[in-house]
Structure formats: structure tokens, C-alpha cells
Structure 1
Amino acid sequence: MIKNTMVRDLPEQERPREKLIAYGVQSLGNAELLAILLRSGTKEASVLRVAENLLSLYKERGLASIVNLSAVQLSRIHGIGPAKVATVLAAVELGRRIAQEPSKKKIVINGPPDAADYIMPRLKYETKEKFAIVLLNVKNQVLSFRIISVGILNASIVHPREVMAEALNNSAAAIILAHNHPSGDPAPSGDDIATTRRLIKAGQIMGIEIADHIIVGGNGYISFKEQGLMR
């Protein structure tokens, strides 16, 4: 636990901003990075203490839980007012957008690990279950990423017509199915397997390959292809 020492009382080389400039951003801990965003603490608590108080509230779920904090939740923390709330939320959203920014170079999916690397930043922080598809051309290059539905995955909310329409409209040769489990456990449910098989059959009729189904949960994933479930 960081002692309640005011930043101004620290040696200059140990102050977060000065430390970042001198040694690089990688040299800072999470609380120090947050302290730079928050800029100041209160009369009773240093900015480092306020930052650590924020982190400690969500320590069981990890740093990534900050991505889903609302303005109301942040403002409940003593020492974080409207201006600091806006700064933290803006920084988090910039980080999210950077992670999802498509590369100018065409992304090629050569197997489940490549698919997971592409899909996880787009779904891992979602608090609702979302079903998406990755559309590929004949060279396995990514054409686009589309959210098809929001809600518990079952045949009633994921219709083959919607999935195949996206593929046809984008001239896709193959599709990777993807969805997230907000619970953190990527293990497929019976509905996950049934829906996948239904879409595989539809793809066979339309001449569009369903290459894999990636389920994202927490920091892990499950590939139907790796698990032998693509049949």
C-alpha cells in the first residue's frame, strides 16, 4: 500500500511525471500512471493514494475492469471529481480505440491464434454478450468485423440469413464466428455449439466456409477448430 506521502514531498526523480520523462512510461506502476491522469489529490490524501484507492476497489477483477467503469462509479471515489472522471474515461476510451484500430497492412488469419489476437481486443471488455463475425477474402485477409447481435447466444437471435447476407455483401470467401462470455469462462454452451453447427450448414449451402468460432472469456479464448467442434 502506498503511504500517504504527497507527491511534492517525494524526491524529484520519484515523482510520477518526472520518472516517466526520465525512465519511460514502462517504469511506472499502475497507480503512478493513474496519478498522472488525476493530477492532484485532496488535503487528506495524496494523488497516489487516490489512484490506489481506485485500483483497490477492483483488484479482484484486475486493471481491465476500469474499462467498464461509468462516470457515476468513478465519481463515488473520494478525490475524483467531474474533471478527473472525464480525464480517466477519455484516456480509457483512447486506449480502447487504439487497440481496435485496424492496421493499414492487411491482417491475415492463418489459424486460431491469429483469429484470437484480432478478436480479443474487440470483445474482451464487453459487459454484454455479443456475437460477431470476421469476414475473410480468399487469401484469409480480414475484410471487416461485424457485430451481428447482442444477448445470450442462441438460434433465435443469430439467424443464418443475417450472417450470410454480410458475407455476400462483402464478397467474403470465409467467416470466423466470434462472441464473448462476460462471465470470463470461454467454455462453449450447448446453445453455442448448436448455433455454430446451424451456421456451418448454412455456409455449406451458400458456398461460404465457416473457418472457426472463437469464444472470448476474460484473458483467454476457446477455438472450436482447435477443440474439434467444427463439424
Structure 2
Amino acid sequence: MLRDVHADERPRERLIRQGVQSLSNQELIAILLRTGTKKESVLTIANRVLKEFEKIHELKHATFEEIVSIRGIGEAKAAQLLAAIELGRRLAQKQVDSRFTIRSPQDAATFLIPEMSSLQQEHFVVLFLNVKNQVLHKQTIFIGSLNSSIVHPREIYREAVKRSAASIICAHNHRATRS
């Protein structure tokens, strides 16, 4: 149990003393979960979360139902984890969104790949740019099936006119299918 761990080695105390960067993924999740159960420490439950999703990056796609199905996690803990994941996603996107200027195809890729690379379905996304090629708005126009998306130009142009966009960049992800 965590109470059996020396106070200086507990995640919260280490965070305060050494900084958040010094903690492992297991310890960060343990801090978010706050408590364990009568039979298991919070670190054991945090480890179970990491085993369930194998890679920490996969947590980004976790559903409420998947998290609640992990032994030791109820609705409140699942809600805390999902809220933290969404907050992190929003913070990461906000850093990229703040009037990002696109001067090349690579700039567009830099802007879009972090979010689009992990999507599970085909997404057709449009960037709406001002006269300085700064991103005014990003919108997913259509979400398709596993390997296709059908978009009508009127959907794109309607949004471009609404945003007074000087130019647009259209992008979509390719989902590889395995047989």
C-alpha cells in the first residue's frame, strides 16, 4: 500500500520536491486517481491502467466504458482520467492553434499531424486561412468510414465564406486497412 512507502518516495511528495517531470507515467496516473482500494494501492491500479492501454498514447482514445471496466476504477476515477486527458489535448491544440502561419506543405503537416495521425476513421479537415496565411479556423467537414470519406464542395465553401477566409487547405488522413 502507498502508506507503506516512505513519505519521500510517494508520487505527490516527489512531484512537490523534484518537479512533475521526475514522475513516471504510473505515478502521474496515480496522482490523478488519488486513492486506491482497501485491497490495492493506487500505484497498482495506475499500473493496471497502463497495462490495459499498453502505450500511454492510447489513453487518448479511451472511452468511459473502457476505463470503468478496469478493476479498481469507478465512475469518479474514470471521469477524472478522461477530464485530464481532454485538458491535455486542449492545451496541446491551443499551443498549435494560436495564429499558426502556414508557409509550406510541411507547415500544414506540422499543424495537422499531431491530431490526425491517431484518428480511427477517415476525417476530412479544412484549414481556413487569412491573407497572412494564418490559421483562422480548423474544421472537420466530414468523418467517413474506416477507409472513405465523401465531401461536397459546398460544405467547404460555405464555411470559407462564413469565416471570410482568403484561402483554404484541405486535408484528410488515410487509414491503412489490414487483411
2:63 to 70, 75, 88: 70
- Where 1:145 maps in the other structure, the secondary structure is strand
Q: Using the TM superposition, give the Cα deviation of residue 104 of structure 1 relative to its aligned residue in structure 2, in angstroms.
A: 8.3
1:20 maps to 2:15: yes
2:121 to 109, 128, 134: 128
Provide the C-alpha distance between the structure 1 equivalents of 2:176 and 2:87, rounded to a whole number of angstroms: 25
Residue aligning to 2:107: 114
> Quick check: 2:116–2:173 contact (8 Å CA) kept in 1?
yes
Aligned-residue sequence identity (percent) comes to 47
Q: More helix per residue: 1 or 2?
A: 2
Provide the C-alpha distance between the structure 2 equivalents of 1:55 and 1:160, rounded to a whole number of angstroms: 43
Going from structure 1 to structure 2, the CA distance change for 1:93 and 1:111 (only over 3 Å counts) comes to: same
> Quick check: 2:125–2:172 contact (8 Å CA) kept in 1?
yes
> Quick check: 1:20–1:28 contact (8 Å CA) kept in 2?
yes
1:38-57 matches, cutoff 5 A: 38-57=33-52
- Where 1:101 maps in the other structure, the secondary structure is helix
Going from structure 1 to structure 2, the CA distance change for 1:183 and 1:10 (only over 3 Å counts) comes to: farther
Give the TM-score taking structure 1 as reference length: 0.68
Query: Could you give the per-residue CA deviations for residues 112-160 of structure 1, whole angstroms, max 9, x where no partner exists?
Result: 33222322344344333211100112211111111111104657x2122
Q: Counterpart amino acid of 1:81?
A: G
Going from structure 1 to structure 2, the CA distance change for 1:154 and 1:66 (only over 3 Å counts) comes to: closer
Unaligned residue ranges in structure 1 (runs of 5+) = 1-5, 186-231
Q: Using the TM superposition, give the Cα deviation of residue 47 of structure 1 relative to its aligned residue in structure 2, in angstroms.
A: 1.0
Q: Using the TM superposition, give the Cα deviation of residue 83 of structure 1 relative to its aligned residue in structure 2, in angstroms.
A: 1.3
> Quick check: 1:99–1:121 contact (8 Å CA) kept in 2?
no
> Quick check: 2:97–2:135 contact (8 Å CA) kept in 1?
no
> Quick check: 1:130–1:151 contact (8 Å CA) kept in 2?
yes
Q: Using the TM superposition, give the Cα deviation of residue 174 of structure 1 relative to its aligned residue in structure 2, in angstroms.
A: 2.2
Provide the C-alpha distance between the structure 2 equivalents of 1:112 and 1:21, rounded to a whole number of angstroms: 42
1:29 maps to 2:48: no
> Quick check: 1:135–1:143 contact (8 Å CA) kept in 2?
yes
The alignment of Structure 1 onto Structure 2 pairs a total of residues equal to 177
- Where 1:133 maps in the other structure, the secondary structure is strand
Residue aligning to 1:158: 151
2:6 to 11, 15, 24: 11
Going from structure 1 to structure 2, the CA distance change for 1:104 and 1:146 (only over 3 Å counts) comes to: closer
Provide the C-alpha distance between the structure 1 equivalents of 2:57 and 2:96, rounded to a whole number of angstroms: 23
Q: Counterpart amino acid of 1:158?
A: V
1:98 to 91, 95, 115: 91
Provide the C-alpha distance between the structure 2 equivalents of 1:37 and 1:119, rounded to a whole number of angstroms: 29
- Where 1:176 maps in the other structure, the secondary structure is strand
Unaligned residue ranges in structure 2 (runs of 5+) = none
Provide the C-alpha distance between the structure 2 equivalents of 1:13 and 1:32, rounded to a whole number of angstroms: 13
Provide the C-alpha distance between the structure 1 equivalents of 2:82 and 2:177, rounded to a whole number of angstroms: 23
Of stretches 164-173 and 99-108 in structure 1, the one that deviates more from structure 2 is: 99-108
